[in-house]
A and B are shown apart, each in its own frame.
Chain A
Amino acid sequence: MTAFSDLQTAAVLFSLMIAPLAAAGLALINAGLGRSRNAAHAMMTSLTAIAVASCAYFVLGHSFYGAAGEPARVAMIRRQTWDWLGAMPPFFIGLPAAGSPAFLTALMGTESVALAALIPLGSGAERWRLSSICASTAVLAGITFPVFAHWSWAGGWLAKLGFVDTGGAASIHAVGGLTGLAVVWLLGPRRGKYSSDGMPMAMPGHSVVFVLFGCMLALAGWIGLNAAGAILFAGVPLGQLALVGVNTLLGAASAALVAAVVTKVRFGRPDASLTANGWVGGLVAVSAGCAFLPPAAAVLTGLLAGGLVTFSVELLELRLEVDDPAGSISAHAVAAIWGLIATGILGRFPAGNDVMLAQVVGVATLLGFVLPVAWGLNALLDRFLPMRVSREGERQGMDLFELGAGAYPDFVTHTDDFMPR
């Protein structure tokens, strides 16, 4: 990869400086959609997951991830080269810092893996132990994410096939969402979620304000992440970055509106948590082709993502007994898969590129490689470090049981202020 100009470097750096807002947004969404007795635990696990993911990626992940044009493990099959795995030294050794796309890619990789690590936390919320979360995050950041991200972002075999994943719909969100599905399959539902005849009980989140504010923060972060991805992985000129921002906003807006309308029509009132899931689903879906979609196509992608996420949340909870408190599987994995296919259908690419085939192969790789590997690795970890908290821990709430203090210690005593003395 050729060196970047100072202006390109500054643009990527600025984008990556606002990208962590996406992680802050997701952490707030996860905390807000859980019950108050697990709120501190949700924020603590988010912070810990970011820390563990960054360190695991620094130690091992980046050497597997590599970068386009850097050393990689290659296989020859029928005279075709298949780039399977990065072969960079660990600990970021040998990365030139000044104006180097490789170093910027390493920063993007670190932020991306931190964001991906937050997604399964929403799925396993309220019953997943902190120590097990750390181990699972290390595996995600050290193995699952870097391997797939090398294939799609760092000049791997999928990228050579023409796979388009500009903002990380596949590498970040589908990988995170499918890991979340594997985690839910291993953990099982929260106690009391399903009655003896299989009917799900409502367990509403404790703060819709957190959730909706998280959505707004996530938008800023997403624009940064998509812009950085567009420069680093799609070679988009700086003048075209406005399109990336417009598409990101339009995708989220249209998806949220559809989710609000669908819930209003079906339940009589717009549902705030499903609207938030729709917003995130729109952001995720449009990430795949944000640099290649005309704005009208981004709106269409968002519209369908919003509808899809709403129905997917219901299908998973009602029919498949997948207890996903934050709706992460629908908002990240399902929306990402739709976004990848939509990019193949609606994206504008130079003639002769069989992008649709590459997108289908990418989705097949997510389902056929990432999901079984995530399940297998987490099942293995579960044998040595049990994932699920005890019955007593779940009853007390994760805040008291694992952290020793609740998120809102004033909740009960505060009511005394209103009592007549």
Chain B
Amino acid sequence: MKTAGLLLLLSGWLLVLAALAMLNGGVARNAFVAAGVLVELLGLVLTARAHLSAHLNIRSERG
């Protein structure tokens, strides 16, 4: 799950880069940049949750 989160972070950044490279200004470019940032935030949440659940597992194994 952590790897998936980190890949989402990377995907969001690539979306931002694609928006800058492909779109010539205006609302569409800003919207795609915002979408890229949102994907990154999803990735960040997923990675943080993966870290948390890994620790829950370690604690439950230790009893």
Contact = CB atoms under 8 A, between A and B. Distances in A.
A84 to B, nearest CB: 11
Interface in B37-63: 37, 40, 43-44, 47-48, 51-52, 55-56, 58-59, 62-63
B20 A372 contact: no
Contacts of B16: 361, 364-365, 368
Contacts of B11: 368
A357 interface: yes
Interface residues of B, number: 31
Contact of A368 (B12, B21, B58): B12
A188 interface: yes
Contacts of A375: 6
Interface string A349-375: 000000001001101110111011001
A141 B58 CA distance: 33
Interface residues of A, number: 27
B12 A364 contact: yes
Interface in A355-412: 357, 360-361, 363-365, 367-369, 371-372, 375-376
A7 interface: no
Interface of A: 77-78, 80, 82, 161, 185, 188-189, 194, 196, 198, 320-322, 357, 360-361, 363-365, 367-369, 371-372, 375-376
Most buried by A among B6, B14, B47, B63: B6
Contact of A361 (B20, B55, B56): B20
Contact of A364 (B40, B52, B56, B59): B40
A320 B48 contact: yes
Contacts, number: 72
Interface string B1-45: 010001101111110100011100000001001101100100110
Q: What 8 A-B pairs come out closest when comparing CB atoms? A: A368-B13, A372-B6, A364-B16, A77-B21, A367-B40, A368-B9, A321-B55, A372-B10
Contacts of A320: 48, 51-52
A173 B52 CA distance: 25
Contacts of A185: 2, 47, 51
A161 B16 CA distance: 13
A371 B7 CA distance: 11
Contacts of A371: 6, 9
A364 B21 contact: no
A367 B15 CA distance: 13
Nearest to B16: A364
B37 A188 contact: no
A412 B48 CA distance: 42
A361 B48 CA distance: 22
A78 B44 contact: no
A322 B51 contact: yes
Given A185-B47, A196-B59, 17 more contacts: A80-B21, A161-B20, A188-B55, A196-B63, A320-B52, A321-B52, A357-B33, A361-B16, A361-B20, A361-B33, A364-B13, A367-B40, A367-B43, A368-B9, A368-B43, A372-B6, A372-B10
A194 B33 contact: no
A369 B10 contact: yes
